[in-house]
Each structure stands twice: as structure tokens, then as C-alpha cells.
Amino acid sequence: MNRRTFLTTAAAGIAHVASAQSVPDAIRNLRPMTGGIQPITDDERRARIEKARKLMRENKLGALVLEGGSSLYYFTGTRWPQSDRTFACVLPASGEPAWIVPEADQDRAHQAIRMGTDLRTWKEEEGPYKKLVQVLKGISRVGIEERVRFAVFDGLRKEAPALEFVSGDPVTIGCRVIKSPAEIALLQRANDITIAAYKAAFATLHKGMPQRELSANISAAYRALGAPGNAMIIFGKYTAFPHGSIQPQTLHEGDVVLVDDGCTVEGYQSDITRTTVFGRPTERQRQVWNLERKAQDAALAAARPGATCESVDAAARKVITDGGFGPGYKVPGLPHRTGHGIGLDGHEWTNLVRGNQTRLEPGMCFSNEPTIAIYGEFGVRLEDCMYITEDGARMFTKQSPAIDRPFG
């Protein structure tokens, strides 16, 4: 789970204030864990583009149109923020990538673009779409990357109403869903850093602590460890809301503490949740926590190559239902899917969810996070990410061993 998209700015602002004030030395003194990181090579990116071309041919697509975002970064190594001035890339099924660049940004674009040399600048008075359609000449069916904005699609279809614009998902998902050893190594590093940040920050829990103090400590830990990241903090009964509540919370004796989210290494995301109790857990809290851990174990055991995604969800859900919760999405119980894909996006295809008959393959990466939500009481989520190997699923991180020992 994460809500990183909208927490990023808020957390950054808060962390800035906190760093000037009261970040404990134990966090400030953490050392960078970024040594020896191997970025994705341009050769690997070229192989991704080659696979995309093959998938385009199989899916009868003449080209894939992308805006700035994780897919563009995946294929080309270029980062570009979406803005009113359309910046787009066309990956044709045959031929080199072409880039549609606002004239005002062309110097910056020349520096940012690593794949291909076909840059076409557009002037304010003509707009981007004529140039974009020229690149698509001779093509009848075009794939649109999922996060391209409606405005860009709309501009394209007005300029070329005879073209057929369809989802580019078979191409982007087909490539991104299987991670290479280099990608798994980067995900591993992001996961290791998140555990280090959490360990340091959980040691700072104290009575009366506001959520923002803990999130500031985690952000500061990430800065010291060398990877940007932040955290969603939930205390007490609000831990039953999988993504928290707007009600401000401070830490009391006996509160359940839930911390979720992660950091970024070379664009690759971690997403880890730890749940513990501040003070002495009640018997009820222990029982639910132990059931949650059994559900996570069941999903891990079920995640073997060849198994369907929905069977992994069913395995975790069965444990929770057998424990007297649910059934289905009913609360108290597990109100959401068991996991999501993870890579350059914190949530990406494909999901461990009922109805998804996609079969697991080596190289796929998922979160494993079957929440137990009990509204009015508390919620428990243990989330670790796992990657599929020939022999079964492996967690990137050591699972939480016990409610009062979140890191063993």
C-alpha cells in the first residue's frame, strides 16, 4: 500500500522543519547505504525496447505513445515532468524512438534524451500534434500508455481521426511485469534501506508523539541513508483504515502503530508495512497480529510459478476467514486485495486479486500485505515484497517475527 503520490510534498515540508529541530542523533548519524548500486544500463533499456517492438507486432500495434512518467523512464531512461507543454515519445514497432519536444525546452531535452536522435520540436503557435502525427505516418493502430493524459489523446485524435487509439497495456505490462536481475537488485536495496529507516525510527516512539514527528524521523532516516522516501503513520483505532484517517493522532500507551510506504533507489520502489503496539499488547491484539502473520505466510507459500494471481489472494483470505473474519472483503476482515505488482511504480501491474488468472512467472514482484481491519478497534498489516523464482517466492525482507519485535 502507499499513498506516496500526495504525501510526498507534505512529508518533505514537514521533514524540513523537523531536521532543523529535533531529529534524534541515532537517525541523523545513519550512514548512506547506497554504495555499489548498479543503475540500469542503456543496453538493458535497448533490450526492453526490442521486447516492446515484439509485443507491438503481436498485438498489431504500429507504435506506442508515451508522456513523461515511469514507462518512459523504463524504456528510455528519460525523466520528464508532465506539463501543459506536451512532451511525448513515440516508440514505433519498427524504427527508432521519436521525440516531440516543446521548442522552449529543446536544450534541456537534448541533455535528457539518451535513446534515439530523432527530436522534433514544436512551436507554440502550431502545437505538438501535427508533429506527433507525422511520426505515426503509415500506422493505423496506436497504443497509448496508460497514464497519458486525456488532453494528449484528444489532441492526437483530432489531428488524425482515422487512427485507432487503444490501450498500450499489453506492451508496457508485458515488459515491466517481469523484472531482470538488475531490477531485483535495485528493489532489494530499496527494501534494505526501508528496513534500516524503520528500525531506527521505531526506536524513537514515545508517549504523546504526533504522527508528523515519526514521519519526519523516517524521512530524515531516508535522507541519511541516501534514498528519498517517506511514510504513512497511523496510530490507535485509525489503523483499521487501510490508508489512515484525516483525524490527527498522537501516540498513547497500548496504541497499535502502523507504518507503511517506502523509498526509491534508481527509480525502484520499496513498500513495507510494520505493525506493532506501543507498550504491552493485549491478548486480542496478539491474536489478530498472529493471524495476520499466518495469512502473509500463506500468500508467500502459494506464490509459486504457475499459480494464478487470484490463488495467492485466496490463500491469504482463507486464513483470515477461517479465523472468523470476512468473508470476502467484508470487515472486520481483509477489505482489499492481498498484493500489487511493484517496480518503478509503488503500485504497478499485476495484482494478487480475485479474478486475476495471470500465472506467476519468475521475475514478477509483488507486495504481500493481507490487512486485517477491525473498525472501532484497530488494524494490522504486515507487508513485505516478494519476487518469484523458479523455486517459489522469496521475500526481499525478513518478515516481522512478533507483535512486540517488529524487526526480530
Partner 1 sequence: MQQTAEVSAATYQERIAKLQEAMKEFGLQAVVLEPGPAMMYLTGVRWGKSERTFAVVLPAKGGPVWVLPGFEEMRARELIHPGDDIRIWQEDESPYQRIVEGLKDRGVSSGRVGIDEAARFFVFDGIRKLAPKLDYVGAQQVLKAAGVDTTQAPGRGRGR
Give 204-209 contacts, CB < 8 A, sequence gap 24+: 204/24, 204/26, 204/27, 205/251, 205/257, 205/278, 206/251, 207/251, 207/252, 207/253, 207/278, 208/250, 208/251, 209/250, 209/251
Cα–Cα separations (whole angstroms), residue 70 to 47, 75, 194, 230: 17, 9, 21, 19
Residue 281 sits in the site that holds partner 1 (CB under 8 A): no
Q: How many residues bind partner 1 (CB under 8 A)?
A: 42
327 binds partner 1 (CB under 8 A): no
What residues numbered 286-305 form the site for partner 1, per CB under 8 A? none
The closest alpha carbon to 219, from 256, 243, 193, 241, belongs to 193
Q: Is the Cβ–Cβ distance between 156 and 65 less than 8 Å?
A: yes
Contacts to partner 1 from residues 127-166, by CB under 8 A: 144-151, 153-154, 166
The Cα 362–Cα 387 span in angstroms is: 7
Stretch that binds partner 1, among 73-81, 202-210, 284-292, 330-338 (CB under 8 A): 330-338
In 265-399, where does DSSP find H-type helix?
283-302, 309-322
Nearest residue (CB) to partner 1, 318 versus 354: 354
> Is 5 an interacting residue with respect to partner 1 (CB under 8 A)?
yes
From the CB of 299, what's the least distance to partner 1, in Å? Answer: 15
CB of 294 to partner 1, least distance (A): 21
Q: Which amino acid is at 239?
A: T
Distance CA 44, CA 40 (A): 7
Choose between 57 and 330: whose C-beta lies nearer to partner 1: 330
- Residue whose grid cell is 499466518: 294
Does 373 help bind partner 1 (rule: CB under 8 A)? Answer: yes
How far is CA 38 from its chain centroid? Answer: 20
Nearer to partner 1, 19 or 167 (CB): 167
Q: Which is nearer to partner 1, 348 or 383 (CB)?
A: 348
Position 106 contacts partner 1 (CB under 8 A): no
Q: Which of 107, 246, 306, 405 binds partner 1 (CB under 8 A)?
A: 246
Task: Choose, by CB under 8 A, the member of 243, 252, 394, 398 that binds partner 1.
Answer: 243
Cell numbers of 52, please?
Answer: 516492446
Stretch that binds partner 1, among 23-31, 284-292, 339-347, 360-368 (CB under 8 A): 339-347
Q: Which of 347, 350, 363, 395 forms a contact with partner 1 (CB under 8 A)?
A: 347
Which one, 33 or 234, has the nearer CB to partner 1? 234
Phi-psi region of 116 (alpha: psi -120 to 50; beta: other; left: phi over 0): left
Closest listed residue to residue 239, CA positions, set 279, 211, 271, 262: 211
Q: 259: which strand partners?
A: 233, 274
- Residue tagged 534541456 (cell numbers): 108
Cβ proximity to partner 1, 31 vs 243, nearer residue: 243
Stretch of 196-204, 238-246, 274-282, 285-293 lying at the interface with partner 1 (CB under 8 A): 238-246
Which residue ranges make up the site for partner 1 (CB under 8 A)?
3, 5-7, 10, 84, 144-151, 153-154, 166-167, 169, 241-247, 328-329, 335-337, 340, 345, 347-348, 351, 353-356, 373, 375
